[in-house]
Copies of this chain bind each other. A is one copy, B any other.
């Protein structure tokens, strides 16, 4: 089983890039955010929340598992997922902060280059 950690001695930046690769898909980010609150969520719930097909969801869950970002737990006939570490939540939080920063700056730049006041009512 490819676990992305077998070569624990390989360059750190390669391992780190792999971590980001695991996060680099909208569906997977969405799933992680659904798990953010903390309590386990069943695959059924994830499917109904996202509207994805079961097999499609399972594929992404498998990627998240491989990257050790989530853990699965079987309860009777259903499988529940949760974040593997609280640090995963931290990572998403920091990403959100960075994104907010980027968007804000970009917006300011747009506004200043277009010379369109952002908050006051345009005269024309």
Give the contact stretch, choosing among A19-27, A51-59, A116-124.
Answer: A19-27
Q: Does A65 contact B (CB under 8 A)?
A: no
Q: Does A76 contact B (CB under 8 A)?
A: no
Collect the chain B residues with CB atoms within 8 Å of residue A99's CB.
Answer: 12, 15-16, 19
Number of interface residues of A (CB under 8 A): 42
Q: Which 10 A-B pairs have the closest CB atoms?
A: A87-B98, A20-B23, A13-B29, A21-B24, A20-B24, A14-B26, A17-B26, A13-B30, A24-B24, A68-B102
A-B contact pairs, 24 of them (CB 8 A): A3-B106, A8-B106, A8-B107, A12-B99, A13-B29, A13-B33, A15-B99, A16-B95, A16-B96, A17-B23, A17-B29, A19-B95, A19-B99, A20-B21, A23-B24, A68-B102, A68-B105, A85-B98, A85-B102, A85-B105, A87-B101, A90-B98, A91-B91, A94-B94
